[in-house]
Homo-oligomer: A and B are copies of this chain.
Amino acid sequence: MPESFTPTERTRVVREPHRGVYDRLEIYKILDEGMVCHVGFAAEEQPFVIPTLYARVGDAIYFHGSAASRMLRGAAAGISVCVTVTLTDGLVLARSVFNHSMNYRSVVALGKATLVDAPAEKLEALRAFTEKILPGRWEDARQPNEKELKATSILKLPLTEISAKVRSGPVQDDEEDYTLPVWAGIVPLHLQAQAPVRDERCDPVIPTPAYAANYRR
């Protein structure tokens, strides 16, 4: 696989092109940090956007998809989707309202998603979902049985047509605005975990695992 994705007409960042990112590792890093993706698909010309969990495995992402998977039955070639992952890193407070912005990293992946049928691949995808968010959890929890595996709809999207858009760094004001007596700066944002809440029916002798006690994204 090349180190950088070739932008297509559909993935080239047109507005603010300097924010476009096509480097494979940088894109994968964003995908691996995100927790929820937004999957877009169209049904009878109406687009739908559904949040769901996902994980990257190699050069593909797997995602949970009951809504999209209903459409997929019988569509062996897959359906066209757009999978978008967005991380919000900060509020950008410029001196002018117009130059207010956000620091963010987002990835847009296009292609045909197909249903994962093979139980072994499904299991591998579920393992990736779990381990991505909570490394170590897969071995601690009861793993899926055959019936549960059957009840799980997982879709796969190969990562071939993909780009990212990233805004980072300081405020960018118009030159003449810098003298205005307006506070300007960044308010960093971060998805933070609070102290875990033990389930009422969880025996207190069971220690809280580190991935829950010190959860960090």
Contacts and interface: CB of A to CB of B under 8 A. Distances in A.
B88 A35 contact: yes
A66 B106 CA distance: 16
Nearest to A193: B187
Contact of A215 (B91, B145, B192): B91
For the complex, would chain A's binding face be called helix, strand, loop or mixed by DSSP majority?
Answer: mixed
A106 B51 contact: yes
Contacts of A126: 97
Interface residues of A, number: 89
Interface stretch (A19-27, A54-62, A197-205): A197-205
Contact of A48 (B82, B145, B148, B200): B82
Contacts of A40: 38, 40, 47-49, 82
A53 B38 CA distance: 15
A84 B143 CA distance: 32
Nearest to A198: B185
A183 B208 contact: yes
A215 B190 CA distance: 12
Interface in A33-55: 35-36, 38-42, 45-51, 53
A215 B185 CA distance: 13
Contacts of A86: 36, 38, 51
A109 to B, nearest CB: 10
B189 A141 contact: no
A119 interface: no
A133 B151 CA distance: 40
A181 B188 CA distance: 39
Contact of A83 (B49, B196, B208, B215): B49
19 contacts: A15-B67, A38-B49, A38-B51, A38-B84, A40-B47, A40-B48, A46-B80, A47-B81, A48-B110, A49-B49, A50-B108, A91-B215, A97-B141, A97-B144, A98-B144, A183-B206, A185-B208, A185-B212, A189-B192
